[in-house]
Every structure is written in structure tokens, then in C-alpha cells.
Amino acid sequence: MEQKYKAMYSEVYAVLTKLGPGFEIPPRLFEFIRDNRDMDYAPEINNELALDKQNLMSDTIAMFALLKALYWCKDENEKRRLKMVLDGWID
């Protein structure tokens, strides 16, 4: 696996371990992220800052957008709003 993906999984893992209830993902996905991260890279996550202020890789932010769409949106309206934001961001 490419090093950049291992680093991204390290960042995702670091954030996931700090999130509280309501931010669960399937156990197999969590295990994949945990097992494929760069064990030599331990990103420091500041609980006081939003994700976009954490100096995370753009791939990490994209992964969290995907996780939100797949697992954390409360309903279809929230998914549509997320899609509209992402469409505007990607253009």
C-alpha cells in the first residue's frame, strides 16, 4: 500500500479514536483502518479545533466526508445537503 494512504489511515484512526457516540463505523472498516495505518506516524489531534483546522491531508478530509455520507447522516435531507456542499467544493 502506498505510504500516502497509510498516513491518511493514521490520521483517520487518530480522529476516530477521539470521536464520541454517534460516530461509529462498521467494526471491519475500523479494523482495516487500524491495521493499514502508518505505525510510525502519530498525528496530534487537538480536540478544540475543527477538522478543517487540524492540518490534515486532503485525503483524510475526503475520507471523513465519505464516512459522514455513508454512516453519520441522519436522513436523506442531510445527505443531499452534504452532496450540495461537496459538489460546490469539488467544482
* Enclosing domain of residue 82: 3-90
Give the pLDDT band (50/70/90) at residue 84.
confident
Mean pLDDT calculated for residue range 46-72? 91
pLDDT at 30 over 80: yes
Total of domains in the chain: 1
pLDDT of residue 44: 92
pLDDT of residue 90: 57
Across 20-24, 71-75, 86-90, least confident range? 86-90
Give the pLDDT band (50/70/90) at residue 31.
very high
DSSP state string for 19-71:
--TT----HHHHHHHHHHS-TT------TTS-GGGS---HHHHHHHHHHIIII
